[in-house]
Amino acid sequence: MIQPAPHQEPFGARLRRAMDTRGPLCVGIDPHPGLLADWGLGDDVEGLERFTFTVVEALAGQVAVLKPQSAFYERFGSRGVAVLERAVTESRAAGALVLTDAKRGDIGSTMSAYADAYLDPASPLFSDALTVSPYLGFGSLRPAVDRAHAGGCGLFVLALTSNPEGAEVQHAVREDGRSVAATVLARIAEENADAEPLGSVGAVVGATLGGTLHGAGVDLAVNGPLLAPGIGAQGATAADLPRVFGAATRNVLPSISRGVLRHGPSGKLLREAARTEAEALAEVLARAGSAPGADV
């Protein structure tokens, strides 16, 4: 395995420190048309830009992770992608880790090109981490995994997503009796073996899954971060996390978008909302981390 570049501390270590000091919160930057309208902005590049940099200026110096959704920028073509490039650069400069939510997944040279786009320090889209899809086989992610390790970056691999359609693939059972999701989680754990204090390859596991994970043959002890979308608008709450994630709760990175963004365009209200969410999540995760069996 390619080792991290000496100038870049591994993503897992940087994320652990950011969560411990800034609070365990990832705020999505999702400038979809409805939210732009709620902010009184046009569904155009100018509205996109104003929305994005209001969020960046309000939150990049405060939250652990910002997660721009690439699709909302790509739909405006090159001008939209230019806004995303600036957002990534300015967020990182202000101290936030940037997780670009692009859900890339392909094979061979194409996967390598995606890795170059998001995980190469020479790229204008260079991010601390990237979401990726393993459903062409986990091995198809190897170029991104190697690039991430080499640059001290991270990956969040789709494992158990909160959308109902995901179950038809993720819960499918292989010949060896394991589900596809269980296999993906096992491969993530292999990538994180012996990493301290936290591996750099994480999993995406929906916070809305309730208690359905237990007894489903999945092991969330992957020694890596667990990105948990679904809190707030999708129905999950901070109090649900220990029930869903069990002993792995301390490594959960909850992701909230609308629950924070609906407080814009006021930067002050965005900061207050993010602070309130982070404090509530930190309290829940701290209690879970001190419970018996929490280090399992």
Per-residue pLDDT at 294 exceeds 70: no
Section 80-100 average pLDDT: 98
Taking CA atoms, 170 is separated from 13, 79, 158, 273, in Å, by: 29, 36, 9, 33
**CATH number of the domain where residue 236 is located:** 3.20.20.70
| pLDDT, position 181 | 95
* 2 in a structural domain: no
Is 72's pLDDT higher than 60?
yes
In Å, what is the CA distance from 218 to each residue of 74, 112, 169? 34, 29, 14
Confidence category of residue 295, pLDDT binned at 50, 70, 90: very low
Q: DSSP strand E in the chain: where? A: 26-29, 65-68, 97-104, 129-132, 154-160, 201-205, 226-228, 252-256
Average pLDDT of the chain is 92
Would the CA dihedral through 158, 160, 162, 166 be positive or negative? Answer: positive
243/144 Cα distance (integer angstroms) = 32
4 found inside a domain: no
Using alpha carbons, select from 238, 247, 251 the residue that is nearest to residue 154. Answer: 251
User: Is 268 annotated as catalytic?
Assistant: no
Say how many domains are in the chain.
1
Please report the pLDDT score of residue 212 as a whole number: 61
Is 280 domain-assigned? yes
Asked if the structure places residue 42 within a domain, the reply is: yes
Residue 103 lies in a domain: yes
**pLDDT(264) > 50:** yes
Residue range 72-83: average pLDDT?
98
pLDDT at 34 over 50: yes
Tell whether 25 is covered by a domain.
Answer: yes
The more confident residue out of 25 and 233 is: 25
Q: Which tokens is 21 given?
A: 């000091």
pLDDT beyond 80 at 282: yes
Instruction: Note down the domain range covering 59.
Output: 11-288
Residue 235 inside a domain? The answer is yes
216 pLDDT higher than 70: no
Residue 223 has pLDDT above 80, yes or no: yes
Q: Is residue 3 part of a domain?
A: no
Confidence tier at 188 by pLDDT (50, 70, 90): very high
Residue 164: cis peptide before it, omega within 30 degrees of 0: no
Q: Report the pLDDT value the prediction gives residue 296, as an integer from 0 to 100.
A: 34
Cα-atom radius of gyration of the chain, to the nearest Å?
18
Residues 100 and 118 sit within 8 Å (Cβ to Cβ): yes
Instruction: Report whether pLDDT(203) > 50.
Output: yes
| pLDDT band, residue 119 (cuts 50/70/90) | very high
Chain centre to alpha carbon of residue 102: 10
Tokens of 3: 């080792």
Residue 3 predicted with pLDDT over 50: no
Q: Which two tokens stand for residue 268?
A: 């002050």
Tell me the pLDDT tens digit for each residue of 243-259: 899 999 999 999 999 99
Lowest-confidence region among 39-48, 50-59, 128-137, 216-225: 216-225
Q: From the candidates 103, 142, 171, 178, which is the catalytic residue?
A: 103
